[in-house]
Structure 1
Amino acid sequence: MSSSLKRPEPTPPHALPDGAAAPAGAPLAIICGGGAFPLAVAEAARRAGREVVLFPVRGFADASVEAWPHVWIHIGRFGRLKSEMRRLGCRDVVFIGNVLRPRIRDIRFDWTTLTLLPQVFRMLRGGDDHLLTSLGRLFEESGFRLVGAHEIAPEILIPAGQLGSLAPAAEQMEDIALGRQALAVTGPLDIGQGLVVMNRHVVAVEAAEGTDLMLARVAELRANGRIKAPPRCGVLVKRPKAGQDRRLDLPSLGVRTVDGAARAGLAGIAVEAGGVIVADVDALVRAADRAGIFIYAFERDGAGEA
């Protein structure tokens, strides 16, 4: 692991009482996957006057993180990561960005992680929410405090209502309602955070492939005649899983998703307001208007929710 920072040893964060707030001036640790969200959160923290240290994950995070105070990390080097976070005075930690589930043989274990192998194997036996919740618990047990990215940067949460120039029609609102109900059922099973509904028929459910590949699959099904529907039919629906820890892995929406929905021939995208994050809402709206699809954010209703 390489570090861009040198600093005298601070008081280790695990020496603080459980639940205590981070000391004034303590930097925020941002564990960064890929995409634009890590820098959006870092910018928001800096605007609020908070020092940050980025911990980009090798193989996933973008090189742009090197414009910030940073320490590159490898998956599986938990001991080294803890040591660096403590050395730099971090107590609060945010997880944000895209990281694919690793294979055991690809993980570069350090000694601390080797001592946790039974726990690591249990973490990997289950869905993404199980994995991330277990990972978050591991950090909390080590004396760190998990903070949601949206708590640092509330502006990344998508607002309620119609975004852009187009609105869903009545039949599309029916598809949205069915999609919400279906996700309320699949969420507790830790299956996925999105699906596609056409004419009140669920035609695709997001699983390990993620939203973009699910949309590519819908486009392929249209092209080969397995889905027989007119253009601009169907809705991508996304919401957090029922019961998930919203400090970890809120579903995201970006220009790539809009483009994928358009290639899949969908009429629009519907997401839960305040439950989905977007790095640049203006760019998102411009992309949707350009593609001729709607974006609609429905209110969280509490039915089947966390």
Structure 2
Amino acid sequence: MERIGLIAGNGRLPFLFASAAREQGLEVVAVAHRGEADPSLEAEVAALTWVKLGQVDRIVRAFQKGGVKRAAMAGGIGRVRALTEARPDLGAVRIISRLRSFRDDALLRAVADYFESHGITIVAPTDWLAQALCPQGHLAGPRLNAAQEKDVTLGREVATLLGQADVGQTVVVHNGHVLALEAVEGTDEAIRRGGKYGGAGAVVVKRSKPGQDLRFDLPAVGPRTLETMQEVGAKVLALEAGKTVLLDAPELFRGADKAGISLIGVS
């Protein structure tokens, strides 16, 4: 049986990837980041090795021992944790020493190049998860009114600029005003901050960066995103169709309908 590697972070995406890979006849050898990945992932894979953030060579050794030639990155790494708890090994130091920019894309591409130099090709998790990508159109909840459609358009314009700067993926808008931009704090905290300043009725827009490398850092949303929106009374979630991963999509759609949150996929 062919083996596929999984570099696991937080959230549901590692579980979705492991399940999809198994269904397609692959044996999953996982490396999981302590403090991020869910320990129950161990029951879903053939082998699992725990690492601290920055232990690149330990990941390489685990995959080489497991006979892995291809691997995917799935799940997030909290940016605050990345800044405060990373434990770089010699491999990570070598990667960092060659970087001219410490932006996310440059760092992740450099990591992928390092793995490839050791015989492990980094592939896009969506190669196995095409069915989990957001479709285009109205997906759940009420139809948008004219004001909400304008806010979605504004949010996408600002999110494009935010992505070009390699800062974040989420923008919160209300009545033509930009309330919050995602940075190091992540999507949920950006939504909470936007709700604090704009009150109920906010529009949340999430999209990938222009020229996004599909191998890593794709936008992903799930039921937890809706829970955060309900906390602040946000009413619209607009996602980039074809490039946003829907975590537990049936539950997401049911939750949006129940909460009266409009969920749309925008081309």
Q: TM-score, normalised by structure 1?
A: 0.80
- DSSP-derived class of the 2:253 partner: helix
Instruction: Determine the structure 2 residue equivalent to 1:243.
Output: 211
Residues 1:130 and 2:109 aligned together? no
CA contact (8 A) 1:259 1:291 kept: no
- Structure 1 distance, partners of 2:6, 2:118, is 16
CA-to-aligned-CA distance 1:225-253 (integer Å, 9 cap, x gap): xx3x6x4x231001101122121110111
Superposition pairs for residues 103-114 of structure 1, below 5 Å?
106-114=85-93
Instruction: Determine the structure 1 residue equivalent to 2:65.
Output: 87
- 1:81 maps to a residue whose letter is I
Go from structure 1 to structure 2 and tell me whether the alpha carbon gap of 1:193 and 1:66 turns closer, same or farther (over 3 Å shift). Answer: same
- Structure 2 distance, partners of 1:113, 1:131, is 10
**C-alpha root-mean-square deviation of aligned residues, in Å?**
1.9
Runs of 4+ in 1 over 4 A off after TM superposition: 102-105, 114-117
Instruction: Determine the structure 1 residue equivalent to 2:149.
Output: 173
- Structure 2 distance, partners of 1:273, 1:181, is 15
Residues 1:118 and 2:97 aligned together? yes
Query: Can you give the 5+ residue segments of structure 2 that lack an aligned partner in the other structure?
Result: none
- DSSP-derived class of the 1:168 partner: coil
CA contact (8 A) 1:270 1:295 kept: yes
- DSSP-derived class of the 1:43 partner: helix
Instruction: Determine the structure 2 residue equivalent to 1:296.
Output: 264
CA-to-aligned-CA distance 1:172-226 (integer Å, 9 cap, x gap): 11111111111222211111111011112211111111110011112322xxxxx
Go from structure 1 to structure 2 and tell me whether the alpha carbon gap of 1:210 and 1:107 turns closer, same or farther (over 3 Å shift). Answer: closer
CA contact (8 A) 1:77 1:113 kept: yes
- DSSP-derived class of the 1:163 partner: strand
- Structure 2 distance, partners of 1:133, 1:111, is 18
Query: Can you give the 5+ residue segments of structure 1 that lack an aligned partner in the other structure?
Result: 1-24, 222-226, 300-306
Instruction: Determine the structure 1 residue equivalent to 2:14.
Output: 38
Go from structure 1 to structure 2 and tell me whether the alpha carbon gap of 1:58 and 1:92 turns closer, same or farther (over 3 Å shift). Answer: same
Comparing 256-265 with 185-194, which one deviates more in the overlay? 256-265
- 2:223 maps to a residue whose letter is V
Instruction: Determine the structure 1 residue equivalent to 2:50.
Output: 72
How many residue pairs were aligned? 264
Residues 1:155 and 2:134 aligned together? no
